[in-house]
Chain A
Amino acid sequence: MKVTNKLINDLAPREFSKAGVIWTWLLIIISVAGIIAYIDQVIKGQIVTNMNDYALWGIYISNFVFFVATSFVGAVTVAVLRLTNNSWRTPIVRIAEIISVAAIIMAGITIMIDMGRPDRLLNLFIHGRMQSPIIWDVIIIPTYIVISLLLLYFPLLPDFALLKKHFKKTSPKLSKWYGKLSLNWTGSADQKRIQLKSIQIVAFLTIPAGFMLQTIDAWLFSTLFRVGWDSTNMGAYFISGASVAGVGALVTVVYVIRRAYKLEDYITDYHFDKMGKFLVLTCLIYLYFNINEYLIPEFTSKKEEITHMNVLVSGKYAPLFWFVNIAGLVIPIITLLFKQGRKPLPMFFIGFLVVLGSWWKRYLIVTPTLLNPFLPMEGVPEEWHHYFPSLHEWLITAATLAMALLIITILVRYLPIIPIQRTADEQKLLKTEKNTEI
């Protein structure tokens, strides 16, 4: 009982420090600026963006792909580690679930931002053709949102019941909310049985749903017969890329929360070491896919492919291309292969680099391909060959990123970020095992 009380005291949600409050307000201000820019975009139309007849997908779509990729962290970390019974996952799974929920919600919102007439959203459901991958995307995103929420919610039930008791005296209002959210959890055998069974099912469900989500996202590109997209490898390529983005985001967020909440006793160097190994594995797989994606077109040397490759390797996108591949993949791989590189602080910087690289990687997937169409039109205005997002696009995109961080921040503020009940159970089990050995 003492163990549980200590855990509750350590892990129960706490009010933000001054830095936390400033951080939250900063995110709110960026979000509001983006909302104002979006309202202006709705009023004036997408003329306020720098998208044109060639670059008909811009920063919004690359941002959408980034969010979809990041949301994969739920499937890759939570579900896979849970189903393979990796016990080191316990302190990080909830953070992964939170990132997954925030990212997939913002992916859904971002794709609506890209629509010229968002008021016609319902038409996608009414008149959608099942032949179009866009419709599959429209179906899988809400499905994945619900699954991610369930994956987050089921394991939270015992913790909500504990928090209800914990806040009964200090904050009755909060206690009442936790009580409602705990769904009358008493820890009965029936409740535990149903909960564990449900967690197992939702974990199973998350994996195919996550794979479908990433594959459909990849097929949005690969079914379009464009240079750089026309690849049978695209589904697997996106899944491996999503694993990198997801785990990179997880490492970064885990480090910040660990530091802000002083959770060094719960999220130890051991966890970072494990996450580091996991991240290096995903990076190596992604590097392998990248080599496949770039080397084969270089060998086959089709005219359009070579033009595209030149734009990436030595053309105007070369600085970004090399940054994405070296800073976003090669440096993380080299660093993480060494034990010292898998310590918390280096891991934070590596995670941040990976996330940054992942975001710009999506920009490189979307934009250069669009600017080099198979059938160039005659007399095309010079500006169609170039694309750089407008102020509206930057503001709105920054706001979506801020909103994702805001969702994470709010959930971190009100949810126990490390599963209390499960940690207590594991510690009790550990003690029992030690006693038995003695």
Chain B
Amino acid sequence: MSHLNKIRNVFSAIVYLIFLISGFQNLYAQDAEKNKVRLKADYVKIMDGEVYFNLGATSRINKENVDVANIELTISNEFDDDEIELGKVITDMEGRAKFVLKNLAAIQPDSTHTYNIVISFKGNDAFTRASKSISFKDAIIKANIITKDSINYISASLLDAQKDSLLSDRLLNVQVQRLFRPLPIGKEFNSTDENGTILVPIEEGIPGVDGKLTFEVVLKESDDYGTVKALVNAPVGVPIVEESTFDKRTMWSPRNKTPLFLLIVPNLLIIGMWGIIVYLIVNLFKISKPKIEKNENI
């Protein structure tokens, strides 16, 4: 009986050892092949507009930072020991993704009125799991245009939404929306005064379609409040005289708007040349006509 027990123990030990080794092998295989993913998240709030998170995933492979494309990121809202999944996004070819909230009311703050968001990646065959947490409070920018002594100014105030208190000594950027990137106006750094306000003069002569300009007042990547942006539309620019040739016949138009001389001259040449070619081919038929042979015989 003891002999049987001994065999049973040895057998169990071997099976255990096999499981252990295979388990280590699996672990080793995963560790050897998988790379770490670094997640990046920025919170952006547009006043009276959307709220979104700019997400990014990179990995250090062969001493180079590589964008991690096509991975699924889960966005969750953490508050008071609760975690609610808000949604999922997949990174694009540049390893970026954007997750849009309808508004800030769609998520809940914790007891300190701080919003906590967790972005997580559950891992796959190539990359290990990763997560990133960001926390921010809600801030409000109130911006408008005022005119003093015929000079237009952007006036903006920065408030903590929860406390409803003005925030002083915060840097705000003022810029005008342009086609490729915004054009900064005023000083490089505009710090809010004790009333949480800035006043930036608008230069004259900024061109805009019909003179309309869109100004942006931006609290940029604040540790406490993230990025908050207020947009102000105002017809204070110099109207752009549109010189579009879209409806004109030009050398760069599509084929239905070819300049008339380029339709007439080449087509006349084509018709002329091919007319002569057809005439010459008809001549070949005339030469081969039996009538001519008959004449010759006569």
Query: Is the beta-carbon distance between B280 and A150 smaller than 8 angstroms?
Result: yes
Residues of A contacting B269 with CB < 8 Å?
212
Bound form: Cα–Cα A201–B262 in Å = 26
Bound form: Cα–Cα A127–B277 in Å = 25
Query: Is the beta-carbon distance between A186 and B292 smaller than 8 angstroms?
Result: yes
B261's nearest neighbour on chain A, judged by CB, is A130
Query: Is the beta-carbon distance between B258 and A198 smaller than 8 angstroms?
Result: no
Query: Is the beta-carbon distance between B277 and A147 smaller than 8 angstroms?
Result: yes
Q: Is the interface of A mostly helix, strand, loop or mixed?
A: helix
Bound form: Cα–Cα A323–B289 in Å = 55
Is A292 an interface residue, CB under 8 A from the partner?
no
Query: Is the beta-carbon distance between B266 and A136 smaller than 8 angstroms?
Result: yes
Query: Is the beta-carbon distance between A130 and B296 smaller than 8 angstroms?
Result: no
Residues of A contacting B279 with CB < 8 Å?
201
Is A205 an interface residue, CB under 8 A from the partner?
yes
Q: Point out the residue from A131, A186, A212 that lies within 8 Å of B252, measured CB to CB.
A: A131
Q: Point out the residue from B255, B270, B290 that lies within 8 Å of A184, measured CB to CB.
A: B290
Is A188 an interface residue, CB under 8 A from the partner?
yes
Residues of A contacting B84 with CB < 8 Å?
none
Is B111 an interface residue, CB under 8 A from the partner?
no
Produce 1/0 per residue, B252-273, CB < 8 A to A.
1111001100110010011001
**A131 shortest CB reach to chain B, Å:** 5
Chain B residues 239 to 298 lying within 8 A of chain A, measured CB to CB, are 251-255, 258-259, 262-263, 266, 269-270, 273-274, 276-277, 279-281, 283-284, 286-290, 292-293, 295-296
Is A146 an interface residue, CB under 8 A from the partner?
yes
Query: Is the beta-carbon distance between A191 and B292 smaller than 8 angstroms?
Result: yes
Query: Is the beta-carbon distance between A185 and B296 smaller than 8 angstroms?
Result: no
Query: Is the beta-carbon distance between A150 and B277 smaller than 8 angstroms?
Result: yes
> Given the interface contacts A150-B277, A205-B273, does A194 sit within 8 Å of B283 by beta carbon?
yes
**B236 shortest CB reach to chain A, Å:** 35
Query: Is the beta-carbon distance between A130 and B276 smaller than 8 angstroms?
Result: no
B249's nearest neighbour on chain A, judged by CB, is A131
Residues of B contacting A190 with CB < 8 Å?
292, 295-296
A212's nearest neighbour on chain B, judged by CB, is B269
Is A202 an interface residue, CB under 8 A from the partner?
yes
Is A129 an interface residue, CB under 8 A from the partner?
yes
Bound form: Cα–Cα A143–B251 in Å = 24
Residues of B contacting A136 with CB < 8 Å?
266
Chain B residues 38 to 58 lying within 8 A of chain A, measured CB to CB, are none
Residues of B contacting A118 with CB < 8 Å?
none
Instruction: Please classify how large the interface on chain A is, using the bins under 10, 10 to 19, 20 to 34, 35 or more.
Output: 20 to 34
Bound form: Cα–Cα A348–B273 in Å = 36
Query: Is the beta-carbon distance between A198 and B280 smaller than 8 angstroms?
Result: yes
Residues of B contacting A129 with CB < 8 Å?
253-255, 258
Is A112 an interface residue, CB under 8 A from the partner?
no
Produce 1/0 per residue, A138-165, CB < 8 A to B.
0100010011001001100100000000
Query: Is the beta-carbon distance between B262 and A131 smaller than 8 angstroms?
Result: yes
Residues of A contacting B273 with CB < 8 Å?
143, 147, 205, 209
> Given the interface contacts A129-B255, A143-B274, A202-B280, does A183 sit within 8 Å of B287 by beta carbon?
yes
Bound form: Cα–Cα A202–B293 in Å = 24
Is A423 an interface residue, CB under 8 A from the partner?
no
Bound form: Cα–Cα A201–B283 in Å = 11
**B65 shortest CB reach to chain A, Å:** 15
Bound form: Cα–Cα A212–B262 in Å = 15
Residues of B contacting A212 with CB < 8 Å?
269
Q: Point out the residue from A187, A201, A202, A205 that lies within 8 Å of B296, measured CB to CB.
A: A187
Bound form: Cα–Cα A262–B4 in Å = 108
Chain A residues 193 to 226 lying within 8 A of chain B, measured CB to CB, are 194-195, 197-198, 201-202, 205, 209, 212
List the 4 closest A-B pairs by CB distance, nearest first: A188-B296, A183-B288, A129-B255, A186-B296
Could you write out 28 A-B pairs with CB less than 8 Å apart?
Answer: A128-B255, A129-B253, A129-B255, A131-B251, A131-B252, A131-B259, A131-B262, A139-B266, A143-B270, A143-B273, A146-B277, A147-B273, A154-B280, A157-B287, A183-B288, A184-B287, A184-B288, A184-B289, A185-B287, A188-B293, A190-B292, A190-B295, A194-B286, A195-B283, A198-B283, A201-B276, A205-B277, A209-B273
14 further A-B contacts with Cβ under 8 Å, apart from A130-B255, A131-B251, A191-B292, are A127-B255, A128-B255, A131-B262, A139-B266, A139-B270, A146-B277, A184-B287, A184-B289, A187-B296, A188-B293, A188-B295, A189-B295, A190-B295, A191-B296
